[in-house]
Amino acid sequence: MIVTRFAPSPTGYLHIGGLRTALYSYLWAKRNNGKFLLRIEDTDLARNSKEAAEAIKEAFQWVGLDFEGEIVYQSERFDLYKRYVQELLDAGKAYRCYMSKEELDALREEQTARKERPHYDGRYRDFTGTPPKGVEPVIRIKAPTSGVISFVDGVKGEVSFNASDMLDDFIIARSDGTPTYNFVVVIDDALMGVNEVIRGDDHLSNTPKQIILYEALGFDVPKFYHVPMILNPEGKKLSKRDGAMDVMAYQKEGYLPETLLNFLIRLGWSHGDQEIFSMEEMIAFFDPSHINKSASAYNQEKLLWLNSHYIKEASYERLIEALRFFDVDLAPHPKKELLIDAVRDRAKTLVEFATMIRQIVDAPKTYDEKAIEKFLDTKAVEILSEYKNTLKNAPTLEKASEFETLTKNFLEERGLKLKDLAQAIRIAMVGNSVSPSIFEVLEIIGFVHVIERIEALIIYKKGV
């Protein structure tokens, strides 16, 4: 059985790069009827892991990912790590090092000055004498000093490192007794049964260290997949400066979760030429061996295109639900389906969607001056006024087609074209020169309110 995991450190929110590796891990587990686990890497006690876990849960819930069992917190497993440190100590595979921080810094400085790679020199590796007083030792692993460490990465292929220029006896437990990252990752992955690790390729250089630990501890080495970074549109490393990093920001900006997932899966992974993937397809097709080897740049236009795609596809219920977040409740609206269909092709985000809805549903409070100047000269106001009278004398109109017939007859009698009236009606209805098809808008607004809105514009125009 394939077991994958997502193991973020608590940063307070889930960022999109993290969501992508989480998605890949999730998909790969699902595809293989395996398990996808969640672990919070909070060995650094300074940061609040509960809050971070809540943020991750919220984001997972929003996009529809779930994980198996309970969240594992590393901060709750210190006793466990201690046991394994002791085990390595007893086996002579790790040792106490009494070098002080100052000494280490000095050593590193010298090495750098000599243009050498800064590294620990192993001075306590075989130390048997009396330890210096007043120094709380760190625990270091006895790493191989020669040979080659290689592994087959599921994305990059075979990767190998020379132990001599890669490794030193790195620290597995700090002087305060707490374990370090490389050590706890290995322990937890092994104990949790994680056998396929999908993670960012910034971890590629850590991998040989972890392999050393797997072997020292007698655990099986998992299969690794190192996925390349996401770059900003300029091709540089993605940072907070580039805008939305927090997954939940995408909700606020009006993206559907299916958009984000589809966007992310396609950023760095492909299945032939296919662009659109449902969750079922993602699970059916995702294979980490098709992950691209090179980094990919974030592409806002494509995100927007995907979002408009999913808005076009979404069911009425889905949209009504998603729109609640933006304080738009369409559920009681008598023409909600017509309204949604009138707007959906025009909105790239739900923010725009909500704005357009409000513009139709709420009578205009102001009018766009430029539109008035351009389309409402005296002649146009006259026509609009006559049109209003015609409406008033007509039986109550209901359907868009009824408005259309009446309007066309009205125009024909006067030898006018739709062009001569459409913009005036539009300004009356929504306050500016842009809206969905006017006849649909008229139906949505309803006969009585249509007349009111036209009258309001005429009065406004006279007042000016």
Partner RNA sequence: GACCCCAUCGUCUAGUGGUUAGGACACCGCCCUCUCAAGGCGGGAACGGGGGUUCAAGUCCCCCUGGGGUCGCCA
Task: State the number of CA atoms in the 13 A half-sphere of 275 facing the CB.
Answer: 7
Interface with RNA, residue 235, by CB under 7 A: yes
The least distance separating RNA from the CB of residue 425, rounded to whole angstroms, comes to: 8
DSSP string over 325-361? TTT---TT-TTHHHHHHHHHTT-SSHHHHHHHHHHHH
Helix H or strand E encompassing 189: helix 181-191
Interface with RNA, residue 267, by CB under 7 A: yes
Q: Which is nearer to RNA, 5 or 34 (CB)?
A: 5
Q: Which is nearer to RNA, 188 or 246 (CB)?
A: 188
Q: Which residues contact 311 (CB under 8 A, 6 or more apart)?
A: 256, 319, 344, 347, 348, 350, 353
DSSP string over 3-27? EEEE-----SS-BHHHHHHHHHHHH
x/- map, 171-190, RNA, by CB under 7 A: x--xxx-x-xxx--------
Interface with RNA, residue 407, by CB under 7 A: no
Which member of 163, 217, 304, 456 binds RNA (CB under 7 A)?
304
φ and ψ at 287, to 5 degrees?
-140, 120
Interface with RNA, residue 324, by CB under 7 A: no
Pairing relationship of beta strands 94-97 and 223-227 according to DSSP bridges: unpaired
Interface with RNA, residue 195, by CB under 7 A: no
On the 0-12 / 13-18 / 19+ scale of CB atoms within 10 A, 11 is middle
Interface with RNA, residue 232, by CB under 7 A: no
- Cα separation, 411 vs 405, whole angstroms: 10
* Catalytic option among 115, 240, 419, 462: 240
The least distance separating RNA from the CB of residue 157, rounded to whole angstroms, comes to: 6
Interface with RNA, residue 4, by CB under 7 A: no
Interface with RNA, residue 312, by CB under 7 A: yes
| Whole-angstrom Cα Rg for the chain | 32
- Catalytic residue flag (residue 240): yes
Nearest to 186 by CA among 227, 160, 152, 224: 224
- Cα separation, 259 vs 301, whole angstroms: 12
Interface with RNA, residue 434, by CB under 7 A: yes
Q: What is the identity of the amino acid at 419? A: K
**Distance (Å) of CA 433 to CA 335, 380, 427, 428:** 22, 14, 6, 9
Q: Which of residues 120-179 bind RNA (CB under 7 A)?
A: 120, 138, 156-157, 159-162, 165-166, 170-171, 174-176, 178
Interface with RNA, residue 50, by CB under 7 A: no
x/- map, 83-122, RNA, by CB under 7 A: ----------------xxx--x---x------x-xxxx--
Q: Which is nearer to RNA, 57 or 203 (CB)?
A: 203
How many residues line the site for RNA (CB under 7 A)? Answer: 85
Interface with RNA, residue 333, by CB under 7 A: no
Which member of 32, 195, 206, 390 binds RNA (CB under 7 A)?
206
Q: Which is nearer to RNA, 131 or 235 (CB)?
A: 235
Which member of 4, 21, 25, 43 binds RNA (CB under 7 A)?
43
* Region of 77-85, 246-254, 285-293, 389-397 interacting with RNA (CB under 7 A): 285-293
Q: Known catalytic residues?
A: 240
